[in-house]
Amino acid sequence: MASLKSRIHRYRYWRFLLLPALFMLLSLWPLQRLAERYYTNELLEQNRQTLDLYVANLLGTLRRYEVLPNILGDLPVLRALLDHPQDASAVNQANQLLAQLRERSGSDVIYLMSAEGQTLAASNWEHPDHFIGRNFSFRPYFQQAMTGQRAQFFGLGTTSSKRGYYFGAAIRDAERVIGVLVVKIDLDHTETLWGHTPEQLAVTDSFGVVILTSRPDWRFSATRPLSETEYEQIRLHRPYPTTEPSQLTWSSDTWLIQSRELNQIGWTVRILAPVRQVERSVHTVVAVGGATVLVLLLWLSLLLQRRRHLMERLALDAQARRDLELRVQERTCDLEALNTRLKEEVLEREHAQQELVQAQDELLQAGKLSALGTMSASISHELNQPLAAIRSYADNARVLLDHQRVEDARTNLGSISELTARMASIIAHLKAFARRDPHIPERVALQPALEDSLSLLAARCQSLNLELIREIPEVTLWVQAGETRLRQVLTNVLTNALDALEELPASAPRTLWISTERQRNRVVVCIRDNGPGFTPQSLQRALEPFFTTKAHAEGLGLGLAICDSLIRSLGGILHLANHPEGGACIRISLRCAAPDTDFSDKEPS
Ligand code: ADP
């Protein structure tokens, strides 16, 4: 599924890229056209200047010699020869002069012809192929000069085979033409001037035949079809080495042609620049353009690719976010369900706790009642004893009153009053013991509570003949407790100690230690006896309800369990242990109460 998606993505990506690619490639075509036009114009401009230069040079060369035959024709030496053509010295003088003039003018040959076209004297008289004696009457320049026209002619030298331009002028005696003076200029050098450039030079004459060119293979080729008359003229005047010039065509696909007409002499000068010269530059431009397009395309593709990656990453991020949100939602649902369950459980626990508290309360009450039952013997003993004493004091008082011993009777009545007060105190303690006690800790003085418990057990202590060792400070120790609860705990622990001491043989010394100690913000009451101590099992289980090692009638196994619960409800700790020297050692650790604790809600006694 994911791969199909990514394939679709990639297809879209390439389609997106194809359009600009096509556009960029298409933009290369106008670029090519532009470059073509630019480079063609540049080349044409450059060649136009070259053409102008060349034409100026060519025309300058020709014009320099144009008037020379006219001027030289008046020279007396030449006229003298024309008058006496057979005179050897005249011929010699004329030859000498013409040779000198040629050298000075820089022309190729200067020669003098008779009115019949016979060469009488020539500057090249010393050369083996000199012109003297030769007849050039067939040449147009001779015929033109003879008829009084401007005598100009391009042609190949019939003896020298060198291309030249001939200027002729008639020499007249009055109106009669007596001879013709001809100056031939060498045009070969104008060709060699061109040099080796890609552009080619082609000068065509009035027949359209190439007479000067930088390409030897083009020389003397006709650039247009020749008419029969023109062929005849060529055959007659023999300007070229051949009478039938071959045909030459310049294709516009290969050459860029610029031409200039030289109307005076009927020539056309052309510069032919190879089209491939422009093509090369155009190709370079197109290649650079193509490379730029390619770079642009690559850059574009890179951009697109980066954009695609970004989109993919964003999509992945969005997906991950959605997944996370979904997971969070699921988790929230789970947590809500858990929370509801927990609430239910809390409710259940609270309910159970309430039930437990109620059960503990019931248990406590049961424990108290059981303790009352256990203590009933000593209570009846405690109350019977003062009752018996009261009775005997009352009997005695009656006897004493009978004997008028009023003072003694008053003393007895006083004793009776004291004993009733003591009995009231005992009953008050029992009442307090049996009452249900609110579980709020309050400030209680430790020493009076201890005294109360001991006084409750005083008769038993006496009967056991035990030694009581107290290590209690004078200053009142205030603890966080409940008046009744603390008394109940102390009485219970002391009763257990007495029970343990009772188990000792009658002759064995019995000792009970009661001490207190301060531990930072706590007061610890330590009640130790030298009885048999806890058995390992009772040490482990003594705090369990209904655990007892005593005979059924004596113990219910609730005492320490209730004490532990009471002490814990007061924020204290009940700790059971055996003393290293034998006997049990019970430590009751209670929180200290600040002396300024409010007593307003002190429980009623
Ligand atoms: P009861 O006194 O009814 O047996 P308690 O909970 O008060 O119940 O005591 C549990 C048990 O702990 C006793 O049966 C006894 O075995 C043991 N015990 C308590 N105090 C002492 C002590 N001072 N010396 C030895 N054993 C003790």
HEC-encoded secondary structure of 510-543: CEEEEEEEEECCEEEEEEEECCCCCCHHHHHHCC
Helix (H, G, I), strand (E, B) or coil at 1: coil
Paired residues of 165 in beta bridges: 154, 185
Cα 463–Cα 465–Cα 467 angle in degrees, nearest 5: 140
Looking at 17-31, 195-209, 332-346, which range is the least confident one? 17-31
How much distance in Å is there from the Cα of 501 to the middle of ligand 1?
11
The reply to whether 18 falls in a domain is: no
Query: For 315-324, what is the mean pLDDT?
Result: 94
Check pLDDT > 70 for residue 13.
no
Check pLDDT > 70 for residue 222.
yes
Distance CA 288, CA 520 (A): 96
Contact between 496 and 559 (Cβ < 8 Å): yes
Relative orientation angle of helices 483-502 and 446-456, to the nearest 10 degrees = 50
> Tell me, what's the pLDDT at 425?
67
Percentage above 70 pLDDT, the chain: 89
The reply to whether 75 falls in a domain is: yes
Q: How many CA atoms lie within 13 A of 449 on its CB side?
A: 25
> Tell me, what's the pLDDT at 228?
93
The reply to whether 323 falls in a domain is: no
> Tell me, what's the pLDDT at 588?
97
Ligand 1 site, residue 497, Cβ cutoff 6 A? yes
Q: How confident is the model at residue 286 (pLDDT cuts 50, 70, 90)?
A: confident
How much distance in Å is there from the Cα of 469 to the middle of ligand 1?
21
Q: Which of 63, 61, 57, 55 is nearest to 269 (CA)?
A: 55
Relative orientation angle of helices 559-569 and 483-502, to the nearest 10 degrees = 150
Phi, psi at residue 321, to the nearest 5°? -65, -40
Residue closest via CA to ligand 1's atom 16 equals 549
Task: Summarize pLDDT for 504-523 with one digit per residue, the tens.
Answer: 998 999 999 999 999 889 99
Ligand 1 site, residue 541, Cβ cutoff 6 A? no
> Tell me, what's the pLDDT at 300?
84
Q: Of 188, 210, 245, which marks where a domain is finished?
A: 188
The DSSP output letter for 520 is T
Check pLDDT > 70 for residue 325.
yes
> Tell me, what's the pLDDT at 338?
93
Query: For 388-399, what is the mean pLDDT?
Result: 90
Q: Relative to the CA of 543, which ligand 1 atom is closest?
A: 6
Query: For 18-44, what is the mean pLDDT?
Result: 84
Check pLDDT > 70 for residue 601.
no
> Tell me, what's the pLDDT at 600?
41
> Tell me, what's the pLDDT at 426?
65
Residue closest via CA to ligand 1's atom 7 equals 559
Q: How far is CA 356 from the centre of its chain?
A: 64
The reply to whether 44 falls in a domain is: no
What CATH code is carried by the domain that includes residue 450?
3.30.565.10
Residue closest via CA to ligand 1's atom 19 equals 496
Cα 600–Cα 602–Cα 605 angle in degrees, nearest 5: 135
Check pLDDT > 50 for residue 605.
no
Relative orientation angle of helices 483-502 and 275-402, to the nearest 10 degrees = 70
Looking at 269-273, 311-315, 365-369, 494-498, which range is the least confident one? 365-369
Domain encompassing residue 519: 439-591
Check pLDDT > 50 for residue 29.
yes
Percentage above 90 pLDDT, the chain: 49
Residue closest via CA to ligand 1's atom 27 equals 534
Tokens of 488: 């109940």
Query: For 446-453, what is the mean pLDDT?
Result: 92
Q: How confident is the prediction for the chain on average, in pLDDT? A: 86
How much distance in Å is there from the Cα of 367 to the middle of ligand 1?
14
Distance CA 375, CA 156 (A): 172
How much distance in Å is there from the Cα of 549 to the middle of ligand 1?
7
Identify the H or E element spanning 585: strand 584-591
Distance CA 134, CA 120 (A): 8
How much distance in Å is there from the Cα of 541 to the middle of ligand 1?
10
> Domains in the chain: how many in total?
2
Task: Summarize pLDDT for 374-383 with one digit per residue, the tens.
Answer: 556 556 666 7
Q: Relative to the CA of 560, which ligand 1 atom is closest?
A: 6
Contact between 584 and 497 (Cβ < 8 Å): yes
Query: For 353-358, what is the mean pLDDT?
Result: 86
Q: Of 156, 188, 220, which marks where a domain is finished?
A: 188
What CATH code is carried by the domain that includes residue 133?
3.30.450.20
Contact between 557 and 505 (Cβ < 8 Å): no
The reply to whether 381 falls in a domain is: no
Ligand 1 site, residue 512, Cβ cutoff 6 A? no
Ligand 1 pocket mutation pick from 375, 538, 574 by most atoms within 8 angstroms of CB: 538
Q: Which of 463, 437, 449, 452 is nearest to 377 (CA)?
A: 463
> Tell me, what's the pLDDT at 598?
46
> Tell me, what's the pLDDT at 135?
92
Ligand 1 site, residue 533, Cβ cutoff 6 A? yes
Ligand 1 site, residue 560, Cβ cutoff 6 A? yes
Residue closest via CA to ligand 1's atom 8 equals 557
> Tell me, what's the pLDDT at 389?
87
**Residue of 26 and 172 predicted with greater confidence:** 172
- Cβ density class 381-403: b for 16+ within 10 Å, e for less: ebeeebeeebeebeebbeebeee
> Tell me, what's the pLDDT at 466?
93
The reply to whether 4 falls in a domain is: no
Tokens of 378: 């000593």
The reply to whether 10 falls in a domain is: no
Task: Summarize pLDDT for 536-555 with one digit per residue, the tens.
Answer: 999 999 988 778 898 754 66
Strands 151-156 and 210-213: unpaired
The reply to whether 176 falls in a domain is: yes
Ligand 1 site, residue 584, Cβ cutoff 6 A? yes
Query: For 385-393, what is the mean pLDDT?
Result: 86
What is the model's pTM? Answer: 0.47
> Tell me, what's the pLDDT at 58?
86
Ligand 1 pocket mutation pick from 496, 558, 581 by most atoms within 8 angstroms of CB: 496
Task: Summarize pLDDT for 70-106 with one digit per residue, the tens.
Answer: 888 889 999 999 999 999 999 999 999 999 999 998 8
| Full strand arrangement of the beta sheet holding 255-262 | 210-213, 200-204, 267-274, 255-262
Q: How confident is the model at residue 277 (pLDDT cuts 50, 70, 90)?
A: confident
Task: Summarize pLDDT for 185-212 with one digit per residue, the tens.
Answer: 988 877 877 778 888 999 999 999 999 9
> Tell me, what's the pLDDT at 603?
39
Q: How confident is the model at residue 183 (pLDDT cuts 50, 70, 90)?
A: very high
Query: How many beta carbons lie within 10 A of that of residue 457, not counting itself?
Result: 21
**Residue of 437 and 219 predicted with greater confidence:** 219
Residue closest via CA to ligand 1's atom 12 equals 542
Check pLDDT > 80 for residue 254.
yes
Q: Of 166, 188, 210, which marks where a domain is finished?
A: 188
